[in-house]
Structure 1
Amino acid sequence: MEGLKYRTNVGLNFRMNNSGSYTGEGVFSPTPDNMSRAAISNSLTTQWVIENLLTYDRTFADKHKINLIGMFSAEENSFNRSVVSATDIARDEFRFYNLGQTTEPIVVDPAQQLYEKSGLRSYMARAMYSYDDRYMLTATIRRDGSSRLADGKKWHTYPALSAGWNITNESFLENNKSINLLKLRVGYGETSNQAVNPYATLGRLGLRPYNFGDQNAMGYYVQELPGPDLGWEYSQTRNYGLDFAFFNNRLSGTAEYYVTKTTDLLMRIGLPPTSGASGYIANAGNSMNKGIEFSLNGVILDNPDGLSWELGVNIYSNKNELTGLASGQDRDEGNWWFVGQPINVIYDYQKEGLWQEGDPYLDILEPGGNPGMIKVKYTGEYNEDGTPVRQIGPDDRQVIKMDPDFQGGFNTRFSYKGFDLGIVGSFQSGGVLISTLHSANGYLNLLSGRRGNVDVDYWTPENTDAKYPKPGGLTSGDNPKYGTTMGYFDASYMKVRTITLGYNFEQAFIKDLGLDRFRLYATVTNPLVLFSPFHKETGMDPETNSYGNENAAVTETYKPRLLTIGTNTPATKSFLVGFNLTF
């Protein structure tokens, strides 16, 4: 049948890992006769996907184009790992190859054993119609089923509809040579998200050793509660766009505006210790995102025999808002969720500086406090004589927005004869950056010892314009009171991500070598931070490298969803030199 096609796409990832480790007697131990130990680990990962697509593609009367697609797909992911260890291996030569050569019990660590399996099944139908390459219409419907979600909530069906108008091909622009592309787009669609770990509906048990008489025993406890009603998170998006190109395509770009409403957000809800469990995964609430995106690309100079220069820039801004919580409440202070505020916020005191000698109301706001301690914002009422009615307390915590006002990137390319130079960068304006190195429990604020650390600008009576509080004042554990506020920085920055310099040898030179193309190039990544308050103060790269629960010292301070700069691998500067040959 003319225009009818069938295609099957099949993919497979299959990975096996076998590893072993051995540590000799007394190694990595202050006790010389500490027993040797060995372990073996085996894991198997399989990921397969199959897609069946039936396509009907035809053009009628040279102007009517129809494209119909039907799809059925299935995928499955599985992972299985086991770890076995032993101590007091008879001889070093055995290493980890014969764990049976020990007089001690062989240990199977339950925490290291892992098995998980999940699958996804999908159906999709799409119809596209175009008339005279001027008017375009697309309609799609999709249905997905996920094994990760609860019974009765595994399947979700969602549609999409979009339309386009290619104004360039209208008769009233037929003789306009300056406009190469002018196209309006509008669309509405839904998408779904099943991003939870397998078996999240079942909860999770943890193991804990304990004493049972004169014996050591192992017991189970509830680590995470089950989510028997866990369902799809889905979003509804309206999008409006404009594509344009002028002056023989030397100036081109796009402009977008979108509004996305997300229902049944999949999030982890933390619970107080008195509940007996750390938390659970649930459809926690609803949110709304809206934003604009703008990109512009231009060919400023175009001389194939001389200097050419291309320049591009993109700017985007996104505002998100939590519009509802599943509990029906407006505030969930334990999880830092507040209706009407962005999802990613900090709920903490707001630092205003350090207390100085002679500052009024120190004894009222901070009983027992001292000059040189951190001063935070007071939000309470005042008496008739102007004195605060109470001391600083939990009611003075602020909702601090983390998201930037706008972000973007830029790229430029110069070429002159065989040489070319490319630069790619990014920028961000506003927002709050969390540095766990500077926050409470960070390496700069611990008061029990300096630990060979960097020089810190502490407050003293002779150094009252300092950034860090006076040691020995009011503390919270091993940290100054309100120490978390020391970790908040202006997140604005502009940096160069990559610089690439290359040279293409002329054909006359490489022809005798039997080559069609010969190019030398050198690339440097993260070479330069042009602007950043955080970089200026610390010398560190201003881009985040971890989540709030990935730095051991501060796992209880920040929510896992918040991006931070911590002790994880920082952005690195690298240099690369290479060549491309084409025979």
Structure 2
Amino acid sequence: MKTLKHKKTITKRSSFPYKVIGLVLYLLWVQPFGANHLYASERKINIEVNDVTLIDVLKQIEAQSDYVFFYNNADIDTEKKISINMKDANIKDVLDKILNEYSYRINNKKIIITAKRQAPVRTNKISGVVSDDSGQPIIGGNVLVKGLNKGTMTNIDGKYTIDVPDSATTLVISYIGYKKQEVEIGDRNYIPVTLQKNDVLMDEVVVIGYGTVKKSDLTGAVSSVKTENLPIAANTSVTHMLAGQAAGVMVKQNSAQPGGGIEIYVRGAASTGAGNDPLYVIDGFPVTNKSVEPESGNRYEYGSRNPMNSLNPNDIESIEILKDASATAIYGARAANGVILVTTKRGKSGKPIVKYNANYSIQTIAKRLEMLSAKEFMNVSNEISYQKWRMDNELYPYGGELEEDALPYKGNPYSPEEIAAAGEGTDWFGLLTRDGSINQHNVSVSAGTESTRFLASLNYYKQKGVIKNSDFQRISGRINLDQDLGKYVKAGINATYSTIFNNNVPLGEGNAENSSLLNSALHYDPLVPVKDESGNYALSPTLGMIPNPVSMLEITDQTQTDRLLANGYIEATFWKDLKVKLNMGIDKNQGRRSTYLPKSTLYGKQEGGKANINENRTVDLLFELTANYTKQLFKERDRLEVLLGYSYQQENWDGLGAGSSQFFTDLFLWNKLEAGNVARPPVSSSKGKNELGSYFGRINYSLLDKYLFTFSLRYDGSSKFGKNNKWGLFPSGAFAWKMQNENFLKDVDWLSELKLRVSFGQTGNSNIGGNAYEYYEAGNQYVFGDAVQTGSIKSQLENPDLKWETTTELNVGLDFGFLNNRITGSFEYFHKVVSDLLAFRKLNSLMEVSTIADNIGATQSTGYEFSLNTVNLTGPFKWNTTLNISSYNDRWKERNPDVVLAPYEKEDAPIRAIYGCVSDGILQIGETPPASMPDLLPGQMKVKDLNGFDPNDGSKLLGHPDGKIDAADRIYLGSTDPKVIIGFGNMFEYKNFDLNIFFYGMFGQYVANSNRAKYGPSGCEYILQRQNYSKEVLEWWTPDNPTNKFPSGFYSAYYGGDDWLLEKVSFVRCKNITLGYSFPHKWIHKVFSQARIYVDVENPFIITNYQGLDPEMDSKGGYPSQRTYSIGIDITF
């Protein structure tokens, strides 16, 4: 209660306790005094006001009388405007006039104002059952009263009961995977409802650029992936899960470390200078996907990271990959490499739904490189030493000299007694590795009315890597809100914030003092102990520049990345055909890396301790305005959709770095840079900005629901382009023919869909960096006088004509569906040309910069894609299958004229071609060396003499052998690109059990066995310098083991034949096996609406002819791939 004169106040925030108190006060203060209307009727007042608030009128009445007003703020509108002119009037007459919308009572000198008592709303109780088209009850279906915030859910038997007011006319029934249905209430009290399943092909809605479309109305090449079919357990990002899931998409993992980098190629990788990353669009926000993780500031690499790690995979509803020009041209200068649209989950109308899922995983190294044990190392060293003595002295079988004529053999490096006492030695790799683990928790809450829908989620993900000190931790949260602001306006927000913490270890392929942790471990002498007698980390007596592997665990290297990605929209509907939408957002990324190399490490000791702090930050701002007009024409026979839009996006970035060394203690790490004692501590900073302004439009026209036309156009202006080429135009057109709707096919019962698609258009690749502009580098030091001076030097020349790379693409597709869409799929053929490649042209000048960025050359790609989805069995036992097959060929079309090709290289060769000599077996004892290799020794690799240089023109080939081995004998061996990529999955359901098995594979790619080249039987005489090798050297050629598998340890790189380290690889990897069990609803319905437990194995096995560790990730000293065992639970409240 609130009074204008009394000091006692009860605000509108009162709830049940305050209502009780108010009632007690009313009984104590008001009722004992009885009613006194006589005074009110006799007292006269004058009121003359115009358009003033009700509260002011009440104040005037109180000023002219002894009355005091009591009311609840929630019951009356005190700001209501009043106009009244009454003179010498009774108070009751005035009150009747100004309080006609309320009730009031006069007791003594108190006037109590209350809201008018509403007549009770008459309701009817309606019940029914909701079932599917097979008669099975639908559990948890939503039943809403249309137009009211009132609803219920079906029970375990599909039954519902709901109180419906007399004014209600319609019920809305919905369930995931089924068509929403509206039913008239009429005079019925029992309403059964049968929901029809959404047609997988015809009614599925697919997200496209700036809109959605029914899958049956697509004119472009789009692959759609639903995350409900993807195993999320052990995946840090959604990009990890895409391998093999979509035709035309190749996923390449650069590093198996926690949160490791991923490369995704959509229809090949045809750009040679501007990158091949697709454009990511998250809930309508085109993101740069640029990593903000800074460099370490020291000599060690840390592997690559995936910028998509910030996005919680559990939040994602679907992923669409736009592949051809018709689908991607709406994104213009950034769409040449395809567009990946990520749509997150949103709230739905109905009761609150709380979902919680958790999983725990154990990770083991899938396959490790087996190195020589101490005993094996000593025996091989003795063998190499002895064979080297025989070779140096040209003894049999390396020559004709007799052993008694040779210099005396000094003896083996290791005696039999030393070998017997050696044992296994130090397992450096084992000391650095462990079993990893993953712990993940995710909770989401979604709810909504017909006008308000929201979803909020929290995610915690922690991974302990299989290499010690390598960890990944993510904490993220998301809020999605959609609000109807009346009938014609709605608004919403999408916001996610994440914090990622990484502990890093030194990785990479560096050698000697730049060796990574694993590279050092694999090469390190197994006879060296971890620490020496003084307690310091021991060093190899002959390879002292390679750091002790275990000492590198002392390095502290931490990264924190924070990301805020948020956008809001407001959409207004004008008339019923025109919608205008404003979308604004921000993507703020900040990465900080702090490293310290203590003096207990080799490099840290040289630097006296070395600390670095580096920060990078990017802030992207987005403003978009679109208008979408939709109209049914000619008695709804045709349909027209027109999209017009404007977009402005600004990318800002800056960076800052500082470091120091020569610390008197390691205790400070990087927290006291001023404690370093270095004369010129390194500092750096950077800043920049890119802007993109765009106008775009699209027209879709459906004629007779048979012929579909799409035309799109985008006009992009970018600050990255040269001043003479600021704007680019990117058009596309597409046509689709729904043949199943033609008279000659519509009566074919087994044909569900047959649609032919043709598209042609252009897109651009604006990822050309800052190469259009002139740059100067600061910090270049030179000596002037007696001091070191800091200056600046030109590092890049301006090219005002530099522009985007242009991709021109033709696509032909055929979509099909048979047997009521139990068999669906598509076939695609594409041909694209990438012109105006970013390259560097040589200058004929004596300037400090001898090259300039330019648009030179072209490539071309041709490929095929096939997708198939089948429903094999239905009923109690269900079985679905998915299959996709892709093939592409990236080749040169036009070369940079400044690049001089070798005689054996072809102008139109594959972009990632491999050239080399061809081996011809190992020269055996007693075999005559080839005439082209007269000095070849037994155990060394023979090389085929295939060609020679023209003696009259050294740039041309003879076309026949010339009796010697040189570069003319090199030929095209193959390409690192696979010939075929496949994905194959089977999903089984029986009663409450589900089983999902998924495979993907690649065929026909050439892979260099880099571990064999570095740690295997090639030049293994370095073992005499106490550098370890893999167990493969036990199978190399020796006079006592004249094998043809591996050459001897004295294999010469020049005579070796490049192809023996190259393997034509095919593999099929079992990506995941997931087995789940869903608890019957009758067991859990008192607490949960759904509950499921599952176990999952990721990367359980691989079928391959590759002899290395992993055909996808086999870099020298790279982070090992893992096998992951998971257990998890999904529950819904």
Q: TM-score range by the shorter chain?
A: 0.7 to 0.9
The alignment status of 1:401 with 2:974, answered yes or no, reads yes
Partners of 2:989 and 2:732 lie apart in 1 by: 43
1:378 match: 945
Which of 1042, 1047, 1055 is the equivalent residue of 1:464?
1042
1:495 counterpart residue number: 1069
8 A Cα contact 2:945 2:962, kept in partner: no
Which residue among 762, 767, 774 is the counterpart of 1:195? 767
SS in 1 for 2:1085: helix
> Could you list the runs of 5+ residues in structure 2 that have no partner in the other structure?
1-573, 950-959
| Mapped partners of 1:159, 1:30: distance in 2 | 55
1:445 is aligned, of 993, 1018, 1023, to 1018
Shift of 1:348: 2.2
Q: Which position in structure 2 is the counterpart of 1:321?
A: 891
Change (3 A) 1:230 1:169: same
Q: Distance in 2 between matches of 1:204 and 1:487?
A: 43
Contact 1:223 1:278 in 2 (8 A): no
| Residues 135-146 of structure 1 mapped to structure 2, 5 A cutoff | 135-146=707-718
- Counterpart of 1:347, as a letter, is Y
Residue matched to 1:27 = 600
Shift of residue 33, structure 1, vs aligned partner? 10
Aligned to 1:243: 815
Q: CA deviation at 1:219?
A: 7.6
1:509 counterpart SS class: helix
Q: Give 2:1100's aligned residue.
A: 527
Deviation at 1:126? 0.8
Structure-2 change in CA distance of 1:427 and 1:459 (3 Å): same
Mapped to 2, the partners of 1:224 and 1:445 lie a distance apart of 42
Q: Note closer, same or farther for the CA distance 1:280–1:466 as it changes in structure 2 (3 Å cut).
A: farther
Question: Does the 8 Å CA contact 2:708/2:735 hold for their aligned counterparts?
Answer: yes
User: Of residues 811, 824, 831 in structure 2, which corresponds to 1:252?
Assistant: 824
TM-score normalised according to structure 1 size: 0.82
Q: Are residues 1:151 and 2:719 paired?
A: no
- Tell me the CA shift for residue 465 of structure 1: 2.5
State the Cα deviation string for residues 383-414 of structure 1 (Å, max 9, x = none): xxxx9533111111112331333221111111
Matched, 1:579 2:1129: yes
In the superposition, relative to structure 1, how do residues 577 and 204 fare at CA in structure 2: closer, same or farther (>3 Å)?
A: farther
TM-fit CA distance, 1:544: 4.2
- AA matched with 1:470: S
Q: CA 1:184–1:327 in 2, change beyond 3 Å: closer, same or farther?
A: same
Q: Deviations over 1:536-578 (max 9, x none)?
A: x23x221246xxxxxxxxxxxxxxxxxxx44333432222221
Q: Look up the equivalent residue of 2:644 and give its one-letter code.
A: G
- Over 3 Å counting, the alpha-carbon distance change for 1:234 and 1:17 in structure 2 is closer
CA contact (8 A) 1:504 1:520 kept: yes
Shift of 1:28: 2.4
Deviations 1:21-79 (CA, angstroms, capped at 9, x unpaired) = 5566x432599897444433333221222222111111121111110011211222232
Q: 1:380 to 1:251 in 2, by over 3 A?
A: same
Q: Is the 8 A contact 2:695 2:714 kept in 1?
A: yes
Q: Which residue of 2 aligns with 1:541?
A: 1110
Contact (CA 8 Å) 1:409, 1:425: kept in 2 or not? yes
- For residue 489 of structure 1, report the CA deviation from its aligned partner: 0.8
Bigger mean CA offset, 290-299 vs 441-450: 441-450
Identify the structure with the greater helix proportion.
2
Change (3 A) 1:474 1:243: closer
Q: Tell me the amino acid that sits aligned with residue 124 of structure 1.
A: F
Query: In structure 2, what is the equivalent of residue 234 of structure 1?
Result: 806
Query: What is the rounded CA distance, in whole Å, between the counterparts of 2:972 and 2:778 in structure 1?
Result: 34
- The amino acid of 2:1068's aligned partner reads M
Q: Alignment partner for residue 16 of structure 1, among 572, 587, 590?
A: 590
Percent of aligned positions with the same letter in both sequences? 27
Quick one: distance in 1 between partners of 2:784 and 2:1093? 70
Asked if structure 2 preserves the Cα contact closer than 8 Å seen for 1:428 and 1:493, the reply is: yes
Instruction: Quote the offset at 1:84 in angstroms.
Output: 1.5
Residue 661 (structure 2) pairs with residue 87 (structure 1)? yes
Q: Distance in 2 between matches of 1:53 and 1:33?
A: 60
Alignment CA distance shift 1:391-1:427 (3 Å)? same
| Residue 578 to residue 458, structure 1, CA distance change in 2 (3 Å) | same
User: How far 1:444 sits from its partner (Å)?
Assistant: 5.3
- Alignment of 1:122 with 2:694, yes or no, is yes
Supply the RMSD in Å over aligned alpha carbons: 3.5
Distance 2:604 2:761 in 1: 65
Contact persistence 2:1020–2:1029 (CA under 8 A) = no
Deviation at 1:204, TM superposition (A): 7.5
Distance across 2 between alignment mates of 1:133 and 1:354: 68
Are residues 1:365 and 2:932 paired? Answer: yes
In 2, Cα distance between equivalents of 1:333 and 1:179 = 55
SS in 2 for 1:449: helix
Distance in 2 separating the partners of 1:393 and 1:32: 45
Q: Match for 1:582: what amino acid? A: T
Letter of the 1:365 partner, please give it.
S
CA drift at 1:291: 1.7
**Who is 1:507 aligned against?**
1081
Q: Which residue of 1 aligns with 2:1030?
A: 454
Instruction: Give yes or no for contact 1:118–1:198 (8 Å, CA) kept in 2.
Output: no
| Counterpart contact for 1:201–1:230, Cα < 8 Å | no
Question: 1:551 corresponds to which residue?
Answer: none
After superposing the two structures, state which structure 1 stretch, 32-41 or 226-235, moved more. Answer: 32-41
Mapped contact 1:11–1:50 kept (Cα < 8 A): yes
Counterpart contact for 2:918–2:1057, Cα < 8 Å: no
CA-CA distance at 1:115 after TM superposition: 3.2
User: 2 CA distance for matches of 1:328 and 1:34?
Assistant: 43
Give the secondary-structure state (helix, strand or coil) at the position aligned to 1:391: coil
For 2:680 and 2:785, locate their aligned partners in 1 and report how far apart those are by CA, in whole Å. 23
Q: Which residue of 1 aligns with 2:857?
A: 285
Structure 1 distance, partners of 2:788, 2:1058, is 39
User: Can you give the 5+ residue segments of structure 1 that lack an aligned partner in the other structure?
Assistant: 546-564
1:295 aligns with 2:892: no
Match of 1:332 in 2: 901
- Residue type at the aligned position of 2:919: K
Native 8 Å contact 1:75 1:119 kept in 2: yes
Q: SS state of the match for residue 469, structure 1?
A: coil
Normalised TM-score (structure 2): 0.44
Partner SS state of residue 42, structure 1: strand
CA distance in 2: counterparts of 1:17 and 1:474, whole angstroms: 46
* SS, match of residue 430 in structure 1: strand
Q: Is the 8 A contact 1:321 1:339 kept in 2?
A: no
Question: What residue in structure 1 maps to residue 95 of structure 2?
Answer: none
Shift of residue 358, structure 1, vs aligned partner: 4.7
Q: Is the 8 A contact 1:410 1:425 kept in 2?
A: yes
**Partner of residue 422, structure 1:** 996
Comparing 238-247 with 202-211, greater Cα deviation is found at 202-211
Secondary structure of 2:1083's counterpart equals helix
Question: Cα gap change, 1:207/1:569 in structure 2, threshold over 3 Å: closer, same or farther?
Answer: farther
For residues 494-536 of structure 1, the C-alpha deviation after alignment (integer angstroms, 9 at most, x for no partner) is: 1111111111111111112x21111112222211112x111xx
Instruction: Check whether the contact 1:202–1:228 (CA below 8 A) recurs between aligned residues.
Output: no
